[in-house]
Chain A
Amino acid sequence: NAGVTQTPKFQVLKTGQSMTLQCAQDMNHEYMSWYRQDPGMGLRLIHYSVGAGITDQGEVPNGYNVSRSTTEDFPLRLLSAAPSQTSVYFCASSYGELAGDTQYFGPGTRLTVL
C-alpha cells in the first residue's frame, strides 16, 4: 500500500492564482481531512470528509474548497491564493472519524504564495 500520497511536494504561486492540491489514499478509509501547519501554530483543520459526497468545514476553511467524489481522493482547491496561505499542507485519512481511529498523514505540500 502507498498509504496517503500528496502532490505536488512543493509549489510557488503568485497572489490571485488558483491551484489544486491532490490527496489520495489506498486504504479504503472513509474519513479524510486537510490540515495546514504554520510555524509555531501546530496543525489546524481546514476541511474534512466522512465519506464520498460528504464534506464539512474545519477550523480555518476560508479561501479553500474541497470535494469528495470518490473514497480515494480528496483534493483541496485554493480559489485565489493569498500570501497568508503560505504554509505546509497535510492530508490525512483514517478508518473513521473517532479520535480513537489512527490518522495516517501524507508527506505534505509546501506552498509559497508570493
Chain B
Amino acid sequence: LAKTTQPISMDSYEGQEVNITCSHNNIATNDYITWYQQFPSQGPRFIIQGYKTKVTNEVASLFIPADRKSSTLSLPRVSLSDTAVYYCLVGLNFGNEKLTFGTGTRLTIIP
C-alpha cells in the first residue's frame, strides 16, 4: 500500500490556477493514482485518474512524472465552488489493500 502525503490545507483566490501535490514514494508498478473531491456534508466524488504523464478532463488536469513518486492535481481558474477537500488515492485494489482516504487537502477559495 503506497502511503500518500498531501498538504493539510491551501488557500487561493478566485480565478487563479491551483496545484495540489501528492507524494507517494513507494508506489507500486500497477498502482492507480486517483483524486477525489469532497464538499461539506457530501460523499467524495471522483475527479480524475492517471497512470503516468498527463491526463486532462473537463474539471482538472493530473500531472505525473516519469518516476510516479508524486502527482499534481491542477484546477484551472478556480471559483468559490471549488472550495472542498481533495483526496489523493494510490493503490491497485480497494478491498484487499483496505484503501482509505487520508485527511486530504482542504482547499479554500477566497473571493
* A contact set with B: CB distance below 8 Å: 4, 31, 33, 35, 40-45, 48, 50, 56, 58-59, 90, 92, 94, 97-108
B interface residues (Cβ-Cβ under 8 A, vs A) = 31-32, 34, 36, 41-46, 49, 87, 89-104
Taking CB atoms, residues of chain B closer than 8 Å to A106 are 43
Task: Describe A's contact surface by its main secondary structure.
Answer: strand
Q: Contact: A99 with B103, CB < 8 Å?
A: no
* Option from B31, B43, B98, B103 in Cβ contact (under 8 Å) with A45: B98
Q: How far is the CA of A97 from the CA of B45 in the complex (A)?
A: 17
B103 touches A98 (CB 8 A): no
Residues of A close to B93: CB separation below 8 A? 97-99
User: 13 A-B pairs, CB-CB below 8 angstroms?
Assistant: A33-B95, A35-B100, A40-B103, A42-B87, A42-B104, A43-B100, A45-B94, A45-B100, A48-B94, A99-B32, A105-B43, A105-B44, A107-B42
Partner of A108, one of B42, B99, B102, B104: B42
Q: Are the CB atoms of B46 and A103 closer together than 8 Å?
A: yes
**Do the beta carbons of B34 and A59 come within 8 Å of each other?**
no
The answer on a CB contact under 8 Å between B44 and A103 is: yes
Complex partner residue of A100 from B49, B100, B101, CB under 8 angstroms: B49
Known: A99-B34, A102-B46, A108-B41. A50 touches B95 (CB 8 A): yes
Residue of B41, B90, B97, B100 touching A44 (CB-CB under 8 A): B100
With a CB–CB cut-off of 8 A, which chain A residues contact B95?
Answer: 31, 33, 45, 48, 50, 56, 58, 97
Q: How far is the CA of A36 from the CA of B41 in the complex (A)?
A: 13
**C-alpha gap A31/B93 in the complex (Å):** 11
A98: B residues at CB distance < 8 A? 32, 92-94
Most chain-A CB neighbours within 10 Å: which of B90, B99, B104?
B99
Find chain B residues with CB under 8 A from A103 CB. Answer: 36, 44, 46, 94
- The answer for the CA separation of A106 and B50 in the assembled complex, in Å, is 24
Bound-state CA distance A105–B36 (Å) is 11
